[in-house]
Amino acid sequence: MAYFDAASAAPLHSVARQALLASLDEGWADPARLYREGRRARMLLDAAREAAAEAVGCRPDELTFTSSGTRAVHTGIAGALAGRRRTGRHLIVSAVEHSSVLHSAEAHEAAGGSVSRVTVDRAGAVDPAGYAGALRPDTALACLQSANHEVGTEQPVAAVAELCREAGVPLLVDAAQSLGWGPVEGDWSLLTASAHKWGGPSGVGLLVVRKGVRFAAQGPGDERESGRAPGFENLPAIVAAAASLRAVRAEAAAEAARLRELTERIRARVPRLVPDVEVVGEPVRRLPGVVTFSCLYVDGEALLHELDRAGFSVSSGSSCTSSTLTPSHVLRAMGVLSEGNVRVSLPMGAAEEDVERFLEVLPGAVAAVREKLGAPTAAVAREEDVLVVDSLGKRCPIPVIELARVIGDVPVGGLVRVLSDDEAARLDIPAWCEMRGQQYVGEEPAEHGTAYVVRRTS
């Protein structure tokens, strides 16, 4: 089985496994105690903190170990907002942040705060000018990921950090996806990360708060981890996380070059092997091992099952693979095709022959799904000079399939009106028009669902 979902969780690094097993014997005692076992545990904890701080590029006393990357994000945002409550209650985030950041923003709004969401381009990158325009006198905190978890696009953190610093606003960087590859550039104020993203054990997060940043930890006080992460430290996991971070950094430069070549191979060959595919994300400024593409007329969940049967573990941002039946917020913010989305995220050590076999298997898997979905017959009617496609009650990618099947039935300049109550159609129909050279006119209210109007131009 080829595991191609490292952006969700990287396989446990061999160094992490060794450190974990060793520290189970040496690091079980309470590091806050003064007897021999406690002192031994404290030495392990201090050494782990120093190693992690060196990798991040911060002081050891600025780094806190948390129970997860999500907990680090929640604690970091809440503490920074509380510490700067006299300045104001305005928060800035990008539209493509990880859900942990967006959920914190939603909670802040529910509590009476205000949030500005900076848009991204079709490659998933923010424009620093968007952050400059969002900064206000009452801005308490800004957040920006170092690289996107779904499409791999790296963000201009250094430029945004400089703008925030000039405005006197701290910037929190979610570095979960990039920290294993190198330190985050720029004069940021807070940083979060998660060990299971770089091959450490799950259940360990990092929260860095630079000296001089106003920060007020929320919740009941605790004497451990500077009061920012209450509870007994999971010392064996912390030691393994720090050891594996150091190990992957030592391998990062050579492995990044190798994985970039493999992902470039996927980016270049998938559109040639599979028709009607959109490769998404920034082509140059991107994580080494992540490549994402979307396939027209394909059910995302069905495609993932086909690839799983063929021996490949991949992920997807398609609405069909989620319980909410709405497309990924990242793909939606980018305005790109969401149906049939596949994210390939190669782990360190991914084999070239597995990538080649994936490229051999993919065309047949996509064709099989498209064949299964090719049967629906569109309910077609005419309203004066407009062809109407009734796709109410049908989920992605059926509305787009039915649109594609009837577009040739109208003359050039004629209109097709697609009725759909699937939220994904709002994203996928305009994306289909751009890919196929047709004009997306816009959406109109309908008695049921929404009408998406398309003009045939070729």
How many angstroms separate the CA atoms of 129 and 181, rounded? 27
How many angstroms separate the CA atoms of 151 and 6, rounded? 13
Q: Which residue spans within 228-340 are E strands per DSSP?
A: 277-280, 290-295, 312-313
Q: Judge whether 32 and 220 are in contact, CB under 8 Å.
A: no
What element of type H or E holds 158?
A: helix 157-167
Task: Give the residue carrying structure tokens 């002192």.
Answer: 39
In terms of Cβ atoms closer than 10 Å to its own Cβ (0-12, 13-18, 19+), residue 265 is: middle
Cβ neighbours for 288, distance < 8 A, ≥ 6 positions apart: 181, 255, 256, 257, 259, 260, 263
Could you give the count of Cα atoms lying within 13 Å of 168 in the half-sphere of its Cβ? Answer: 7
The identity of residue 12, as a single letter, is: L
Neighbours of 375 (CB within 10 A): 7
How many helical (H) and strand (E) elements, i.e. helices and strands, does the chain have?
12, 17
Paired strand residues for 92? 116, 142
Task: Tell me which residue of 439, 447, 380 sits closest to 415, measured CA to CA.
Answer: 439
How many angstroms separate the CA atoms of 265 and 273, rounded? 12
Q: Catalytic one among 58, 143, 295, 320?
A: 320
Task: Give the residue carrying structure tokens 């996107």.
Answer: 148
Neighbours of 125 (CB within 10 A): 21
Task: Tell me which residue of 448, 441, 340 sits closest to 390, measured CA to CA.
Answer: 448
Sign of the four-CA dihedral 138, 144, 150, 155? positive
Q: Judge whether 354 and 361 are in contact, CB under 8 Å.
A: no
143 in active site: no
How many angstroms separate the CA atoms of 189 and 444, rounded? 45
> What is the gyration radius of the CA atoms in the chain, in angstroms?
24
Task: Tell me which residue of 168, 97, 86, 161 sits closest to 131, measured CA to CA.
Answer: 161
- Which residues does the annotation mark as catalytic? 320
